[in-house]
Structure 1
């Protein structure tokens, strides 16, 4: 079929009637499909059930160094867990603090601490007239929710195929000392699945911010979340690169096992310079007696080492890969060549990004919902929920069974076509 923009008004109107019939057929199926978030599927949760047997009743819960994981203490995490997460994050165990189950919680704490107590002796952000963050867009809605919650002004930075627009990042941080941070999902980004290029990472490490308390919030959530064994994205390690550039203190690196083991009971971590870690530990000594060391030990006993974790991720990939491929195949078959949408084809991560014609995303998502398919809200991938083009939609393939996913994407394609035709027809009046 030729591109919609090349069709006559009569051709579009006839096609619109056919699509309306297809849409009505979907409505008659009484669908209840949920693609609203990147939740692991039941099958993915099932492959981690061995965690429940990793610590059996009566088993010794003592670490190699004699730490009894049932008791208080060890604020920064047991040695074995630090080694496991450090290997996953490609850093030294000495650079790591182990937290509870959520890296998002660690990021929230990091922003909160900066607001109330500053960063390494700097003025607390709450005492400043203005605090700003750079936000690569489209991006992760929960990042934006944190900064919005604290009243931090967010500035959109466009994403490119190699990462954020670094010309813009460099210029903004150099001239404005009220810019205190930037959110980054550097590998298989949410939602586009983009991995930052070597040049982008090096430019991050060599930033010259006007604010001495500026920090890069490097959320490496999908560090080992590949779809393919022999076609994977690789990322330069940011802490080492910052140290090389003389900016060792400029980055916080976050990760977790949320989409490796159980999302509700994994382990999270932060990696940073020794100066940053000392600053963080001042808060932790007040905040907690220690995180869940039994769960840390459970993960260590189950995975053994990074090699066990990588093998485990291959099982995840075997479940995720057909779903990603089904989404891409459906989009190409149903929308390819029509000129009404573009989409990414990531090699890992949890999302596919779809861009409709300007002004169509909200209507597409609303149309899907009326027919029984719940998707991430249009605009969610932008600060304040405001997509200036109303075009970006995050597709989350992980949770539905494959058969439901294929059905959902066929419905999605019908909605894209209908809304696009309506926009084109409106322009012909």
Structure 2
């Protein structure tokens, strides 16, 4: 028989085992319960974050475009500094900064002037003034045809919005400088000075955009020589830059002694015979603008024909944001938002001169699609508004990035849309 002590000891051991098992069982259930709580909380947090992000995306794409532009401009106080004009984004995400001599230097000041026009915000006006005066040294730069891009986008808008005579003085001196590049025998303004071993007198379709500075100079100063140069340049370009289907060559090289065409080539398109997308947009915009000043019906007809070419092209995507070249192969098709913004801005003006209602509809569709799928995030730390432009694909430079001139013509298109809506 067990002694009383042994029985008590055995009972105590059994009780201890039972308690240990119960504690283990309880702790297991507690751990399971806690795990479930953690899973639920994490799921709810993730879902909340996803819903928040979706809401932010929806807010960005559904926001009023004009409000979005003003918000973007205000959100990044990019201080004015010589040699630091924002042109695009580098592959590492840093802003590519350029000096005033770069052909794009006038666009960011122009963006600020347009944003001031929309907002009437004196702080934005102050920034626009600061950036504009940093472009002033270009008024005597006779080594470039890009005087219109640099001076008209900055000082041109500044004078239009303020009537400050100091701005007009810069415009007129810049026009005089640009006129020195005109060759009467060729009937054009020389575009580039580089690549002299290949070209004698190159003229690019982009140069149509710089004629507005000359037309305005005649209006401001009464000097018809500026008008005559611009008019003749447009007529020569009309004669030599376009194929039978109304697509444009990028570069036409002339003999400066005889005025004869030496060659028709590309510099930024995929091939000499291809249709570089931004080149088509420059032509559309340039001849529409030339018609505004001259009322020459041949310019209007050419602009309308370029429009028909672009919007009937089989490679134009459904959202109307073109690939960088209309003839680009399927394995090399980044979009060029800058071509789309130039096109939209041109179409608002061209629709005012034409009976074709599709022009206005296409411009509206472009802007809607840009807002929906091509804007940068609202909290982006750089000063750009739109993404997915292509600068120079043959050099794989500025491919699928924000670029300043895309923003400039985007806001201009929005302003033109607003003006038409108010009529």
TM-score bracket, shorter-length normalisation: under 0.3
- TM-score by length of structure 1 reads 0.26
The normalised TM-score by structure 2 is 0.27
RCO comparison, higher one (Cα < 8 Å, 6+): 1
Q: Over alpha carbons, which structure has the higher Rg?
A: 2
Bigger fraction of residues in strand: 1
**Between Structure 1 and Structure 2, which shows a larger proportion of helix residues?**
2
